A and B are shown apart, each in its own frame.
Chain A
Amino acid sequence: MSVNCTRCGAPSVYYRPYSGERLCGRCFSETILERVKRTINRHRMFEHDSRIAVGVSGGKDSLTLLRMLHMIEEGWPNSEMVAVCIDEGIRGYRGEALRIAERSCRELGVEVRVLSFRDLFGETMDEIAARDRELGACSYCGVLRRRALNEAAASVEADRLATGHNLDDMAQTVLLNILRGDVPRLEGFDPGGRELAGYVRRVKPLCEVPERETTLYAYLNGMEFQSVPCPYAGEAMRGDARRFLNQMEVRRPGTKFIVYQTGLKLASKDAAKVSGVCPVCGAPSQGGLCRVCELTGRVEI
């Protein structure tokens, strides 16, 4: 028999190792929502009349984000929400996820806009992955998906793009940037996003919620689970960072949050802003070709 909930005294269902709390299902869900609201406020993610594009992939994080923002947005009648979904064209994987995404949006009454890699870049991720390439599939997919999300958000006239990055993602990013010696990226680490010309400001409201807890939230709230993993996921260096951080978190609960907080401390308000435009597509670029044109040029699309 489990111990009573730390907050309300009802039978608890979850023990939170990094805080020692024992929580019933309802209080667990409430603590997640409270944390997301605090994160939004701390990083001033939205205005009262923001038009928010929510990146929805069909996975548990983006579905949790969609549901939470829908609940929060009900208290802000002048703000609006539109879901944007990107179809990378990964056979056997994205189809199931998009079906779940579209169904969830319909149930919440949220408008959906779907854009595909084929629409935007003329190729699917499967076609890109099948070619001779220098980099892992995720290196192409990540860059192209970010561009696609930006295009989708701009096409629905959003002034914010909210994505479902969780605490695990954030801690992995900090660690990866250290492992790669990518100081500019460390300096630009900001879950509240920055105003950059040509980009819809990107915010990450779930950035302080561990992935284990977005998963439990989705389960306790009856959300559908995608079962098929991305076939290209094994290629990413991020997998190494994930495994290491997962093991450290078991040994030393709270590790992921400390790494994330360190990332915030290392970030600089004066991080280099994008100053030029890409000569091929006109998108914002540090200098010369943008990363999308650089990568798609390399695979000879």
Chain B
Amino acid sequence: MNARAWLGLLRFELPERDVRMATATAAAFNLLGMPIDLLLFRNEPNASPWPEIGSMAVGAVILSALALGRFLGRPSAVRTLFFVNGLAVALALSLIVPYFAAFPRPWLPFQGFKLGALVAGMLAPGFAAGLLTIVVTVGLPMAQIPALPAVLRSQVSPVEPWALFAFGLAAAFILVHRLRVRALEIRAREALAESEARRRLAAAYLELRDLMNTPLQSIELATVLLQTPQDRKPGDEAAILEALRRSSERLAAISRELKKFEHVLDRAGTRGGLDGQSAST
């Protein structure tokens, strides 16, 4: 990807509906996934449930707000909520980590963070929100390793924190790929829609031209006949003038019909490109 493509990706915005759906899904994942941790530590008296409950509360509030239609028309705010949800999950997981010291079985460290990073890559509603969430989700545990209790630090695999970093990198690649594919899909769909709109507009113009051509032909013939009085019979002038008048009325009627579409035009004043000069040459 060149610099321009990267810039495009940074600026790319998913449709608002997709942004809301992605954030709601992440919040639901938070709300329904955290109880698993509660179950893990249900028999551990020193394990406070408040980190999980706090994270679930954040997920519940975000999910409810989106379900109730809050933040409609504000996709930036919704993308921020995605990050807030991810931050809540990462913070909760960080607070839970020391509880594993009391576990009788060996600890598989940081699984939740790795899963969270991948989920962020798969769901993020925007590049910035996604990348920040991934950074926080893998960055927090990476920073936490030196401060772990000795019993836990001894269980941390030598591949850490690089495994965390690798998951973060993978999540970032997933994010970039997903958004790029989505951007291309949207661009292709917009091009198709524009092409169809142009085709329909052209068909409408051609229908219009068809309606106009017969009165124009009448006007052409009537004009020539009026210019050559010596070539016509007495009394024909009235009939010619009447035909001219009706043809003019037909064109006026078409013009009146077209007035109905004035409101559709861009009020910025852009026109279709025809002007009197070029049309008459």
The answer to whether A and B come from one shared complex is no
Chain B residues within 8 Å of A, Cβ to Cβ: none
